[in-house]
Amino acid sequence: MSELLARLRGVVGDANVLAGGDLSAWEVDWRKRWRGRALAVVRPGSTAEVAHVVRLCAEHGTPIVPQGGNTGLVGGSVPDDSGRQLVLSLARLDRVRSLDAANLTMTVEAGCVLQRAQEAAADAGLLLALSLGAEGSCTIGGNLATNAGGTQVLRYGNAREQCLGLEVVTAAGDVWDGLTGLRKDNTGYDLRDLMIGSEGTLGIITAATMKLQPRPAAVLTALATLPTLDAAVSLLALARSTLGAGLTGFEVMNAFSLALVRKRFPLLRQPLPPAPWTVLLEQSDAEGESHGAAALEALLSTALERGLIDDTAIATSVEQANAMWHLRESITLAQAEEGPNIKHDISLPVSAIRDFVASTDAALERALPGIRLVDFGHLGDGNLHYNVQCREGEDPVEFLRHEAEVNRIVYDAVAARQGSVSAEHGIGRLKLDEMTVRKSPVALAMMRAIKSALDPSGVLNPGRVLPPPATP
Amino acid sequence: MSELLARLRGVVGDANVLAGGDLSAWEVDWRKRWRGRALAVVRPGSTAEVAHVVRLCAEHGTPIVPQGGNTGLVGGSVPDDSGRQLVLSLARLDRVRSLDAANLTMTVEAGCVLQRAQEAAADAGLLLALSLGAEGSCTIGGNLATNAGGTQVLRYGNAREQCLGLEVVTAAGDVWDGLTGLRKDNTGYDLRDLMIGSEGTLGIITAATMKLQPRPAAVLTALATLPTLDAAVSLLALARSTLGAGLTGFEVMNAFSLALVRKRFPLLRQPLPPAPWTVLLEQSDAEGESHGAAALEALLSTALERGLIDDTAIATSVEQANAMWHLRESITLAQAEEGPNIKHDISLPVSAIRDFVASTDAALERALPGIRLVDFGHLGDGNLHYNVQCREGEDPVEFLRHEAEVNRIVYDAVAARQGSVSAEHGIGRLKLDEMTVRKSPVALAMMRAIKSALDPSGVLNPGRVLPPPATP
């Protein structure tokens, strides 16, 4: 192996091959669920260097774990504990290569932090409409490798739908230059979308051309309380038909989510009284503040008349709007303060959500009386972070013994309604077992065939996404 | 072969295996450029029958050409002239299986004619936002197999972006049930988007779950004349920022396009005087007629003030709006009446279009003095149907001798600007040579590896999309 490291140093320079010392920043994932051990961390400075590194690793049969901001939630970007896997960090490929305002596109390197890309777009008076909690440290390459979602999917789609072109280093160490800024291109198979969401197992994304949007003239934010989840589904339909594409956010939170925020962060002001459900609505208006406010007020007063909502508060300043989003984003932290919880990132047809929540809440209560449910998420996309919190004062170790049982109840209920066990976080290593159980064997066979075709020696992020075939 | 036909009759019934007699409806393409000869036409009536047919063909080594409405423009859906290829018509799989209004989705079988699917959505008060000239006869399966575009891509995307899930029969005759109505699903590789646009070479689409949209409260249509193409690009940017997602159509037409319509269809009223360029704008308004009209008028008066447009006409009735679209859609017919022409379906970054048109118009004029250029298309997507019309009175055979030369000039100019030689029509057989010349060898190698992985015996639509590898 020292021969490989020596050759890698020749390619990227001594300072960019880290072996020995504290590598935990690259070896341990964000949630600290996986603590791996890397052969080394290599930090190439250009696409050509990435390709060269891949060729050397392929020659030596050394597996590569590509890594961006290392903010993933499913163990996809940290090495296993064999000490044989090389972490290939894209962090030094962090340039905004170009921005084409007339074409509404920007080309960004994989290691560029999402927030920096957002800022570059804003500097040009435009909007990069990908936004998620980790945006201060996650990178565009990781966003695309995992097809990240976030809070604006309702209007602008996942990372996949915001990407027009890619530059990718293949398993053979070739560079595919697919950096097109075209809205339409029907010349052959859709390699772009195959790479997006493949979590580094089919190729290493080194740069991307992303769609930009005109910046809305005004963004309006409101909270509304509702008696039932049914009412939230009806409010969503009403908001879609009256605001049209202006509706850019629609988040739901159950009573316990906000109660937990109230308990753990008592200084955060909650503008509305406790209610079974609360919705956070965001509207982006192309015309301006007064038009946007009038449209949002009209929507909410219709919803009041119809009995869909009980109470409402519209933010009258950017600070108030940020405070509303802050409530939503504090749920995860409040959960962590409260003790252990079992997280899910599921999606369902919107029409099935009410029934799913009612029957799964009940099934969990039967199985684990007193269990507490933190139901919140992106209702507009059918995506719930349906999290299960330990009972008040329960021993953490005791509680986590129920993880498999809880997952089975939740995922069986998801599967019965044609839902997904990973809406936006991906598979990584965390959900390999679920892939085996839940995914159609025909789909798995096609995925394995594609993996073998594009990475025949299995050098790219092995052991992620695809479970090994069952041994007879 | 008679054994295969007998077995096929056993699967789909005698009446649904057509061999002998006049099969030209299946053997000749819409433009009558390819006249093939089929071993037989088989019309299965269910997904299970499609799978059975594929297994039998695979066993006999008989190539399959899947066919929907047979309206493709690149020779992808008709058999070659060997008499060995089986046409598998999806026409009998034509049901709307379900419509979920709350989830804004519908599940439709591959052979369902696009217009029927649009009507089923409209009956439920919703919009299936895929719209193209052939919608009265093309089918959903063909739309997806070719990733069709059309007139609303600017707002709603290509067929790919409007599809959430697929049911596909694989080359092995297995059925992949990927009919999800989920907006988010990150469980493994994106098989859906790989199948979409693969023109029947990786699998046979038998059904799809499509996104639906709320119906806009009002649709406004206008024409505007402009002094330059530059002004059209500026008007597009202005319309995008002021109308936001309300902008659902933005078509450009050069002076000669409309002059040809005037010459060939003198009874069609043209509301505006001849001008270097004319734009057709469509705005879909979520609020209603009066709000929509006010927004459109405000946009157009700003454009007049800035000198972007010279004159404008807003349709005041559905009939007037239809007449404006009819002008746009009459260009292709006027071209056919005028004599032979060489068609292109190119896309470019919007920022490169002005320069492309100016320099390519000039290059063609140098090469073929007096040549007439029909420049029109979906400017909002960067997609031009940049067609080259014979000189006045020119001998058709003489003119068409220049086809290769014209294509080289046009496609070289496209390639120099990172454009695409097939924006929305696909590759089929027509553009195989361009794939060899224009597509990156790395991309072609990946595509070939995927084809071999998913269709190892090459039974699915062989000879389409992928050119054979160069022989050394």
Most A-contacting residue of B354, B446, B450, B457 (CB-CB within 10 A), to test interface: B446
Contacts of A170 in chain B (CB under 8 A): 442, 446
Identify which of A189, A214, A446 has the shortest CB distance to residue B176: A446
Q: Number of helices (H) and strands (E), helices first, in chain B?
A: 16, 19
List the beta bridge partners of residue A167.
A177, A207
Phi/psi at B291 (5° precision): -65, -45
Tokens of A423: 């809406």
Tokens of B270: 């043209």
Identify which of B161, B188, B285 has the shortest CB distance to residue A427: B188
**What is the per-residue pLDDT for A2?**
84
Q: Tens of pLDDT along A393-445?
A: 899 899 999 999 999 999 999 999 999 999 999 999 999 999 999 999 999 99
Q: Which chain A residue is nearest to residue B246, measuring alpha carbons?
A: A245
**Interface touch B182/A348, C-beta < 8 Å:** yes
Q: Tens of pLDDT along B330-378?
A: 998 999 899 889 999 999 999 999 999 999 999 999 999 999 999 999 9
**Interface touch B102/A246, C-beta < 8 Å:** no
pLDDT band at A472 (very low <50, low <70, confident <90, very high): low
- Nearest chain A CA: its distance from B259 CA (Å): 28
Ordered alpha helix ranges (H), B93-187: 114-123, 140-145, 153-156
Rounded distance between C-alpha atoms, residue B264 and residue B334, angstroms:
6
**Interface touch B153/A183, C-beta < 8 Å:** yes
Contacts of B427 in chain A (CB under 8 A): 186-188
**Interface touch B244/A286, C-beta < 8 Å:** yes
Contacts of A155 in chain B (CB under 8 A): 245
Q: Do the beta carbons of residue A246 and residue A283 sit within 8 Å? A: yes
Q: Tens of pLDDT along A183-219?
A: 999 999 999 999 999 999 999 999 999 999 999 999 9
Element (H, E) at B221: strand B218-226
Contacts of B176 in chain A (CB under 8 A): 440, 442-443, 446
Contacts of B243 in chain A (CB under 8 A): 286
Q: Which chain B residue is nearest to residue A190, measuring alpha carbons?
A: B194
Q: Which of the pair, B471 or B411, is modelled with greater confidence? A: B411
Task: Tell me the pLDDT of chain B averaged across its residues.
Answer: 95
**What is the per-residue pLDDT for A393?**
87
- Nearest chain B CA: its distance from A228 CA (Å): 16
Q: Is the confidence at residue A1, as pLDDT, over 70?
A: no
Rounded distance between C-alpha atoms, residue B2 and residue A153, angstroms:
54
**Interface touch A190/B184, C-beta < 8 Å:** no
**Residues present in chain A in total:** 472
If one counts every other C-beta atom within 10 angstroms of the C-beta of residue B24, the result is 13
**Interface touch B193/A191, C-beta < 8 Å:** no
Identify which of B182, B243, B439 has the shortest CB distance to residue A187: B439
Q: Do the beta carbons of residue B406 and residue B342 sit within 8 Å? A: yes
Q: Is the confidence at residue B126, as pLDDT, over 90?
A: yes
Q: Which chain B residue is nearest to residue A232, measuring alpha carbons?
A: B102
Most A-contacting residue of B189, B230, B431 (CB-CB within 10 A), to test interface: B189
Rounded distance between C-alpha atoms, residue B76 and residue B144, angstroms:
13
| Long-range contacts at A306-310 (CB < 8 A, ≥ 24 apart) | A306/A234, A306/A238, A307/A227, A307/A231, A308/A226, A308/A231, A308/A234, A308/A235, A308/A238, A309/A224, A309/A225, A309/A226, A309/A231, A309/A235, A309/A279, A310/A224, A310/A225, A310/A226, A310/A227, A310/A275
Q: Which chain B residue is nearest to residue A286, measuring alpha carbons?
A: B244
**What is the per-residue pLDDT for A470?**
72
Identify which of B102, B421, B439 has the shortest CB distance to residue A237: B102
**What is the per-residue pLDDT for B31?**
81
**Interface touch B442/A176, C-beta < 8 Å:** yes
Q: Tens of pLDDT along B244-303?
A: 889 999 999 999 999 999 999 999 999 999 999 999 999 999 889 999 999 999 999 999
Q: Which residues are within 8 A (CB) of A119 and not within 5 positions of it... i.e. 6 or more apart? A: none
Its pTM stands at: 0.96
Task: Tell me the pLDDT of chain A averaged across its residues.
Answer: 95
**What is the per-residue pLDDT for B184?**
96
**Interface touch A197/B216, C-beta < 8 Å:** no
Q: Tens of pLDDT along B186-213?
A: 999 999 999 999 999 999 999 999 999 9
pLDDT band at B471 (very low <50, low <70, confident <90, very high): low
What ipTM was predicted for this assembly? 0.96
Identify which of B189, B240, B244 has the shortest CB distance to residue A194: B189
**Interface touch B349/A181, C-beta < 8 Å:** yes
Q: Do the beta carbons of residue B81 and residue B65 sit within 8 Å? A: no
Rounded distance between C-alpha atoms, residue B346 and residue A183, angstroms:
11
**What is the per-residue pLDDT for B282?**
96
Q: Which chain B residue is nearest to residue A246, measuring alpha carbons?
A: B245
**Interface touch A184/B149, C-beta < 8 Å:** yes
Element (H, E) at B314: strand B311-314
Q: Tens of pLDDT along B341-354?
A: 999 999 999 999 99
Q: Tens of pLDDT along A227-277?
A: 999 999 999 999 998 998 899 999 999 999 999 999 999 999 999 999 999
| Mean pLDDT value of segment B56-60 | 97
Identify which of A184, A189, A285 has the shortest CB distance to residue B381: A184
pLDDT band at B382 (very low <50, low <70, confident <90, very high): very high
**Interface touch B186/A245, C-beta < 8 Å:** no
Rounded distance between C-alpha atoms, residue B247 and residue B381, angstroms:
12
| Mean pLDDT value of segment B440-459 | 97
Q: Which of A345-349, A423-427, B28-32, B113-117 has the lowest mean pLDDT?
A: B28-32
List the beta bridge partners of residue A89.
A67
Ordered alpha helix ranges (H), B35-136: 47-60, 114-123
- Nearest chain A CA: its distance from B63 CA (Å): 20
Q: Tens of pLDDT along A132-172?
A: 989 999 999 999 999 999 888 999 999 999 999 999 999 99
Element (H, E) at B429: none
Q: Which chain B residue is nearest to residue A180, measuring alpha carbons?
A: B418
Rounded distance between C-alpha atoms, residue A38 and residue A64, angstroms:
10
Rounded distance between C-alpha atoms, residue A430 and residue A113, angstroms:
24
| DSSP3 helix / strand / coil % (chain B, rounded to 5) | 40, 20, 40
**Interface touch B287/A184, C-beta < 8 Å:** no
Q: Which chain B residue is nearest to residue A172, measuring alpha carbons?
A: B442
Q: How would you classify the pairing of strands A126-127 and A175-178?
A: unpaired
**Interface touch B197/A190, C-beta < 8 Å:** yes
Contacts of A202 in chain B (CB under 8 A): 189
**Interface touch A442/B246, C-beta < 8 Å:** no
Q: Tens of pLDDT along B414-447?
A: 999 999 999 999 999 999 999 999 999 999 999 9
The 10 Å CB-count burial string (b at 16+, else e) for A343-379 is ebbbbbbbbbbbebbeebbeebeeebeebbbbbbbbb
What is each CA distance from B160 to B62, B151, B209, B211, B379, in whole angstroms? Answer: 29, 14, 11, 10, 19
**Interface touch B189/A439, C-beta < 8 Å:** no
CB pairs under 8 A between A and B: 289
**Interface touch A189/B449, C-beta < 8 Å:** no
Tokens of A44: 């190439």
Measuring CA to CA, which residue among B313, B320, B311 is closest to residue B276? Answer: B311
